[in-house]
Amino acid sequence: MTAAWRAIIAGALAAAMTGPLIAGDSIREFDNAAEENRYRDLLGELRCLVCQNQSLESSDAELAQDLRNEVYRLVVVEDRSREEAIDFLTQRYGDFVLYRPPMQPSTWLLWFGPAILLALGGGVATMIVRQRTESRPLTAEEHKRARHLLDSDDHGPEAR
């Protein structure tokens, strides 16, 4: 075994040992990939209430660890559906735990507001652009002024 191989194996072992320690959780076991996906997917969708800009997946707060354990217990040990797990958490912590707020009258503005604003802004912008590009024949007075400007030797204010 060469020195290079030894270094690679030592590195891999070190990584394997520190991984679970960094995560601060016990090692999870899954029966199948679907179960694991459901678990991972849920963690990414749920907000940690302590550090509110992190999901349960990325947060290292103690509460996040506890809630990861709960989610694991619900979807893996008790084999409950994604909706049941979400219900469990919203009953206790409110809709705030969801990164994706539910569609209901109080959140309509949140869901549709950006589209409405975009439509309004687009409408205003088209109106302005149309107004500006609207062409009409010049009046006699304007024609005279334009002719005068084109004919003069004046090359703008700096020439004066």
By CB under 8 A, name the binding residues for other proteins.
Answer: 49-50, 52, 62-63, 66-67, 70, 90-96
Q: Name every residue whose Cβ is closer than 8 Å to that of residue 27 and which is 6 or more positions away in sequence.
A: 20
Give strand pairing partners of 55.
47
Question: Which helix (H) or strand (E) element contains residue 59?
Answer: none
| Alpha helices per DSSP H over the chain | 3-23, 33-45, 62-72, 82-93, 108-133, 140-151
On whether the CB atoms of residues 60 and 74 are closer than 8 A, the answer is: no
CB closer to other proteins out of 43 and 67 = 67
Q: How far is the CB of 67 from other proteins (least distance, A)?
A: 7
CB closer to other proteins out of 39 and 97 = 97
CB closer to other proteins out of 52 and 81 = 52
Measured CA to CA, the distance from residue 22 to residue 74 in angstroms comes to 24
CB closer to other proteins out of 2 and 53 = 53
Q: Which of 25, 58, 57 is nearest to 41 (CA)?
A: 57
Q: How far is the CB of 40 from other proteins (least distance, A)?
A: 20
Q: How far is the CB of 128 from other proteins (least distance, A)?
A: 12
Q: How far is the CB of 32 from other proteins (least distance, A)?
A: 27
